[in-house]
Amino acid sequence: MAYTHYILVCGGTGCESTDAKGIYNNLQMEAKAAGVSDKVQIVQTGCFGFCEKGPIVKVLPEDSFYVEVKPEDAKEIINEHIVKGREVTRLLYKKEKKNVESIDEIDFYQKQLRIVLRNCGVINPESMEEYIAREGYMALEKALFQMTPEDIINEIKAAGLRGRGGAGFPTAIKWEACYKAPGDIKYVVCNADEGDPGAYMNRSTIEGDPHALLEAMTICGKTIGSHQGFIYIRAEYPLAVDRLKIAMEQSREAGLLGKNILGSGFDFDIEIRLGAGAFVCGEETALMRSIEGKRGMPTPKPPFPAQSGLWGKPTIINNVETYVNVPIILNKGASWFSKIGTVDSKGTKVFALTGAITNSGLVEVPMGTTLREIIFEIGGGIKGGRKFKGVQTGGPSGGIIGEEGLDVPLDYGALTKMGSMMGSGGMIVMSEDDCVVDVSKFYMEFCVDESCGKCAPCRIGTRQIHALLEKITTGNGSMEDLDKIKEISFAMQKSSLCVLGQSAPNPTISTIKKFEAEYIAHIKDHKCPAGKCKDLVRFSINEKCIGCLACVRKCPASCITGEKKSRQVIDQSKCLKCGECFKTCKFGAVEKE
Amino acid sequence: MINVKINGKAIQVPEDTTILAAAKMANVKIPSLCYNSDLPAWASCGICIVRQEGTTRMLRACCTKMAEGMSVITHDPEIIKARRTVLELILSNHPQECLTCTRNNSCELQALAAEFGLRQIRFEHFIINRPLDNSNGAIVFDRNKCINCGRCVEVCQEMQKVNAIEYQGRGGKTVIGPADLAALEDSPCVRCGQCAAHCPVGAIYEAHANRKVWDHLADSNFVTVAQIAPAVRVALGEEFGLEPGIISTKKIYAALRRIGFKYVFDTNFSADLTIMEEGTELIGRLLKGKGELPLFTSCCPAWIDYAEKNAQDLLPNLSTAKSPQQMMGSMIKTYWAQKAGIDPAKIYSVSVMPCTAKKYECKRNDDMKSSGFQDVDNVLTTRELARFIKQAGIDFNDLPEEEADNPLGPYTGAATIFGATGGVMEAALRTAYAVITGKELGDINFIPARGLKNVKEAKIDVAGTEVRIAVVHQLGNVEEVLKIVRDAKAAKKDPPYHFIEVMACRGGCISGGGQPYGANDAIRAKRAAGLYTDDERSTVRVSHKNEAVMAVYTEFLKEPNSEKAHHLLHTHYIKRDLYK
């Protein structure tokens, strides 16, 4: 019996946390109750990417895109849409107050090109058949039976694939070095220790399409002559780990993993290693030490992993996104892939768009897309119509790009030139309400906590810069402190052992360069132009106050007093500077300075 | 050889030479802090950065290897500036307590700060106050002074494979210590003190005994007695500007008397006694089936501690003979006290050792009170003795040469080589051969036991019996030998060895955890050579011909392994948990 409808329920971690599981269960229950279980197939997929509006439910073949669905909406979706064939218009995504009927009309998706996320939100990640139905494991078959290791390396080289985990090292060069490295024992490692604040593209990719990663790693194993792979993934990603485990079991059973894969005589298996949450374990040498059972701390490079990696053996270590590009390159060919992107960087890049943005979520765009397109077209601009100030890319290692960088086509080179980096693809948007000094302090605090503690310039330098930023944000800074920050940053960049330490000053240094006036305002005028730094903000109530007491009711510190219908007064000694009064007042009576 | 340039000067260096080593060859000194030639470069401090000419990137000289054609700039204003900032950062997280620090004047960080001329720390001074760990009686860990360079961790994990300490926590809260920051006493630590010997600052050091010893020296109610270990005599001189390996035994006797010790004995005497006891035990096991084979030596307390925690299946294989320090301790308070008519309760017995574990050994168990009192009351390291000499205002090099006191002073060449790896083995073989065959060895030098090779093996024909021996030093090499023993045992094969000497420290006691700082293999070789020279110059070179030792047997103990000897000179071992 053929299904008339398919209901795809987002099963990414974001939507799961807002009860997508409840939606799925209720849909099943309601379908049964309505007697349409045989007409509708309900599938939990991976992440749709449009996390701002989750949980997301999509109904096929109409392509109805329901947003912010709640478990109690299940009845209506079944009874109205499935039974009666009428879309539940109140759940449809709205664009300029009009219902949007199809995913293709949504701005968020229009500029995207989903290669890495090709199967996310499309297939059931727990079904190998659905993966295979979308050309899954075709590339592996090619790699096993039609291509030599050199062919594979050349194809990836011609495609121009660069590592998606950080500095963008050409993937084929790495694979070639490892292929040529002498030795019988080699390893394939996947870095899924995604640790940048706000970044979750690797998690979503695995949650939505785990087989793609397994296929790619097996191809890598065939290419370099390795029989053992490791996926190093954060323990904080339980759903991704579960789906990986299911996928591994399925592919072993199907002869796609393990001994004598597809009868080719090639053996390859994969083990999952859970990371305990240290940011530094995303650094490849630290990651490998951690797999070896040692404490995750970076070691000197060279030797590079391709020569001497895991247990001293030649090792390929790539990021999730890099791997997932491989099968599609082999399937569609290097010439197809290399047409996407810029001269410098080919293919697409997935970004986790968060911060002061209207549509937060995962976006995948061709290399060369501008920040303006990502932030204003896909992302729908700054939340609440505020003014754009900057965007942080590359996580704690990256820098902040201001207005001047909005129209630069993004690729590895362009980002580096602008004082930032691609990193893993975190993109945190800041509005005029965000203070750059405060943001720098946030990232520095992250590094203070996440420095592995080995390297003196990083361990102590981050601590000292953080202390200096703290001085500035509390109005106690001096111009000399700014010089000290620059001096420590220089020493860290030059003398830290790993890239975490070398790049930890980047957010601070890039903002001092581009937003120096804001730093000086903190130091010389003791003012925070964004009104974010609590010690430098003062709220007061002016003569416009009509005594409506709206602010009084909101104030958590009960520090606003006065007669009803007359001007209120804020007790500065008790004020927490939370800004609730300022946000609440409709008469412009609360002033922020 | 490859062609490289250091500051524009072309030189040839072997392949795989690091920038740091290449610079040294070019007579250029690159400052460094965390690097130590005993250990693989861990690259934690960031001081040794240099620039590859033509690039802006800086490299760590300690861990970056030179490549053909590479040109390195070691000093320019920018490099110096970055180094100075890093140093200032390190000092911002280090107590400014140089005056009262155990490493005052021997601190590598202090020396670097002096070299850079730092006069002020411009950054916030911060220390996370952590309590001192002086739990294990041998080594003190002051985490406030720790600069997290990681040398101790590498020593403990890579060199010794004891794995007692590791970095704990992250970021600014990173701290080094046993798992879950357990006390050292409750950890796998075996007190070898190699961490202390390698620590560049005053974060790990021997548990000081100064005050107590000085107090007893000043107290006329006590008869103070000293003994010095073999390895002390070839290293102490380094503290007074002498070359490593110079033998200063007789100056040390003189110094101890001037410090105030009433009697000065030599642990070498009891090393000869040890050979009689351990040698007899070996012969018993070898020829009479009395006990298991192989027999392991038991002079090294860190090895004993290690075995009690890590080789519990082999405890019956350890010689029950006490170490020379403890044999001397019990002889002083029994044999000598009787002979000299001194109340043993009034004797304050101090030993000078190259070792930190000896501080623990003297209180190990009740066997160490065989005289009815604590046999050895206190232990000083070689480094501590050097400070005593300085405190006593003694010009060491100007001291006259004096003899040790009788009857616990005279020693043979066999005893003095106890301080070097292989020495106990060689001394035991000299005596065992004579006892078994009734003949003296033609050539008593047993070269296969000497030198710094990790594991040394040999076979000796003793009157038609093949005796297989192994010598291992540096605890990290021990498991290799234990595995061979265990595998043979499991396969019910003949023991692969009959006699195995184990010393916890690299090179043996000559680079023990209490010896002068800065040991490396070149220094170890020189110190060992000093002991072998002492042996060669000795008129008697076999323990069984030490007349003073023979007198102990005739007058007091009757014979080796007698009941009395067992009571006073032997001990027992128990299983201990790695973590309490």
> How far apart are alpha carbons B171 and B166 in whole angstroms?
15
In this complex, which of A295, A487, A494 lies closest to B166 when CB atoms are compared?
A295
Of A331, A290, A325, nearest to A311 (Cα)?
A: A290
Please indicate whether, in this complex, the C-beta atoms of A463 and B82 are within 8 angstroms of each other.
Answer: no
Q: Are B419 and B231 in contact (CB under 8 A)?
A: yes
Q: Which two tokens stand for residue B388?
A: 């005593």
Copy the structure tokens of residue A104: 């293709």
Token pair listed for A366: 């061709």
Give DSSP secondary structure letters for A481-508: HHHHHHHHHHHHHHH-SSHHHHHTTHHH
Residue of A nearest to B91 (CA): A460
d(CA A31, CA B407): 102
Beta bridge partners of A30: none
Closest CB from A295, A487, A494 relative to B167: A295
Contacts 24+ apart (CB under 8 A), A166-175: A166/A319, A166/A397, A166/A421, A166/A422, A166/A423, A166/A424, A166/A499, A167/A412, A167/A421, A167/A422, A167/A499, A168/A345, A168/A412, A168/A422, A171/A318, A171/A322, A171/A326, A174/A306, A174/A316, A174/A318, A175/A220, A175/A223, A175/A224, A175/A316
Reference B484, options B475, B493, B476; nearest CA is: B493
Nearest C-alpha neighbor of A318 from the set A439, A420, A221: A221
A457: amino acid identity, one letter: P
Q: Which residues contact A186 (CB under 8 A, 6 or more apart)?
A: A178, A224, A225, A226, A313, A314, A315, A316
- Check CB contact of B40 with chain A, cutoff 8 Å: no
Q: What is the pLDDT of residues A13-40, one digit of tens each?
A: 888 888 999 999 999 999 899 888 888 9
Query: Residue B119: is it exposed, middle or buried by C-beta count within 10 angstroms (0-12/13-18/19+)?
Result: exposed
Contacts of B147 in chain A (CB under 8 A): 456
Instruction: Taking residues A242-249, report their average pLDDT.
Output: 96
Mean pLDDT of A72-76: 92
What number is the average pLDDT over the span A120-140? 93
8 Å CB contact of A497 and B60: yes
Cα gap A191→A282, rounded to integer Å: 7
Report the alpha-carbon distance of residue B125 to residue B90 in Å, rounded: 10
Q: Do A456 and B45 touch (CB under 8 A)?
A: yes
- Answer left, alpha or beta for residue A151, where phi above 0 means left and psi between -120 and 50 means alpha: alpha
C-beta separation of A515 from A436 below 8 A:
yes
pLDDT of residue B490: 95
pLDDT of residue B398: 97
Q: Would you give the distance in Å from CA B23 to the centre of its chain? A: 31
Does B82 contact chain A (CB < 8 Å)?
yes
Tell me the nearest-neighbour CA distance from A474 into chain B, angstroms.
16
- β-strand pairing of A228-234 with A187-192: parallel
Q: Where are the beta strands (DSSP E) in A403-504?
A: 426-431
CA–centroid distance for A353 within its chain = 7
User: For residue B171, which residues of chain A lie inside 8 Å, CB to CB?
Assistant: 447-453, 459, 462-463
Task: Work out how many CB contacts closer than 8 A connect A with B.
Answer: 118
DSSP B68: T
Model pLDDT, residue A1: 56
Question: Quick check: helix, strand or coil at residue B434?
Answer: helix
Which tokens belong to B380? 């000083």
Count of residues making up chain A: 593
With CA atoms as reference, the chain B residue closest to A444 would be B171
Residues 45-74 of B with CB under 8 A from A: 45-47, 49, 58, 60, 63-65
> Which residue's entry shows tokens 């296929």?
A215
Give mean pLDDT, residues A157-170. 91
Nearest residue to B455 (alpha-carbon basis) of B418, B425, B430, B480: B480
- Which residues have a Cβ under 8 Å from the Cβ of B104 and sit 6 or more positions away? B98, B110, B202
pLDDT of residue B427: 96
Give me the pLDDT at residue A14, please.
87
The Cα–Cα gap between A437 and A507 comes to 9
Dist. CA B69–CA B3, nearest whole Å: 6
> Is it the case that residue A429 has pLDDT exceeding 80?
yes
Tell me the C-alpha distance between B222 and A531, whole Å.
75
Contact A94, A101 (CB under 8 A): no
Which tokens hold the place of B361? 């050994």
pLDDT of A348 strictly over 60 = yes
- pLDDT tens digits, one per residue of A205-222: 999 999 999 999 999 999
Report the C-alpha gap between A251 and A257 in whole angstroms.
Answer: 5
- Domains, chain A, with CATH or none: 5-105 (3.40.30.10), 128-337 (3.40.50.11540), 348-431 (3.10.20.600), 436-524 (1.20.1440.230), 538-592 (3.30.70.20)
- Both tokens of residue B560? 């080796």
- Among candidate residues A447, A371, A535, the one with its CA nearest the CA of residue A196: A447
Query: Which of A283, A454, A498, A500 is the best substitution to test chain B (most B C-beta atoms within 10 A)?
Result: A454
CB contact under 8 A, A495 and B46: yes
CA neighbours within 13 Å on the CB side: how many for A477? 31
Q: Where does the pLDDT of residue A277 fall: very low under 50, low under 70, confident under 90, or very high at 90 and above?
A: confident
Pairwise CB contact (< 8 Å): B170 & A449: yes
Going along chain B from its start, the domains and CATH numbers come out as 2-75 (3.10.20.740), 92-206 (3.30.70.20), 211-569 (3.40.50.1780)
**Per-residue pLDDT, A384:** 87
The ipTM, to two decimals, is 0.92
Q: Which residues of A touch B126 (CB under 8 A)?
A: 463, 467
Which pair of structure tokens corresponds to residue B25?
């060859």
Q: What is the rounded CA–CA span in Å between residue B364 and residue B502?
A: 19
**φ and ψ at A487, to 5 degrees?**
-65, -45
pLDDT tens sequence for chain B (580 residues) = 999 999 999 999 999 999 999 999 999 999 999 999 999 999 999 999 999 998 888 999 999 999 999 999 999 999 999 999 999 999 999 999 999 999 999 999 999 999 999 999 999 999 989 999 999 999 999 999 999 999 999 999 999 999 999 999 998 889 999 999 999 999 999 999 999 999 999 999 999 988 999 999 999 999 999 999 999 999 999 999 999 999 999 999 999 999 999 999 999 999 999 999 999 999 999 988 888 999 999 999 999 999 999 999 999 999 999 999 999 999 999 999 999 999 999 999 999 999 999 999 999 999 999 999 999 999 999 999 999 999 999 999 999 999 999 999 999 999 999 999 999 999 999 999 999 999 998 889 999 999 999 999 999 988 888 999 999 999 999 999 999 999 999 999 999 999 999 999 999 999 999 999 999 999 999 999 999 999 999 999 999 999 999 999 999 999 999 999 999 999 999 999 999 8
| Structure tokens belonging to residue A256 | 């796609």
Measure the CA–CA gap between B549 and B83, rounded to whole angstroms.
Answer: 59
Q: Does B122 touch chain A (CB under 8 A)?
A: yes
- Between CA B24 and CA B429 the distance in angstroms is 43
pLDDT of residue A179: 96
Contact B85 A487 (CB under 8 A): yes
Beta bridge partners of A41: A6
Which amino acid is present at B524?
Answer: R
Q: Which helix (H) or strand (E) holds B256?
A: helix B249-259
- DSSP designation for A260: S
CB spacing of A456 vs B172 below 8 angstroms: no
pLDDT in tens, A478-516: 999 999 999 999 999 999 999 999 999 999 999 999 999
Q: Which of A279, A494, A503 to mutate to test the interface with B (most CBs of B within 10 A)?
A: A494
Contact A464 B124 (CB under 8 A): yes
CB contact at 8 A, B168 and B175: yes
- For residues B66 and B13, is the Cβ–Cβ distance under 8 A? yes
* Residue of B46, B64, B79 with shortest CB distance to A456: B46
pTM: predicted TM-score of the whole model, two decimal places: 0.92
Residues of B in contact with A300 (CB under 8 A): 41, 43, 60, 63-64
* C-alpha distance across the termini of chain A, in Å: 68
pLDDT confidence bin for A327, thresholds 50/70/90: very high
Burial category of B1 from C-beta neighbours within 10 Å (exposed 0-12, middle 13-18, buried 19 and up): exposed
Q: Residue A424: what pLDDT? A: 79
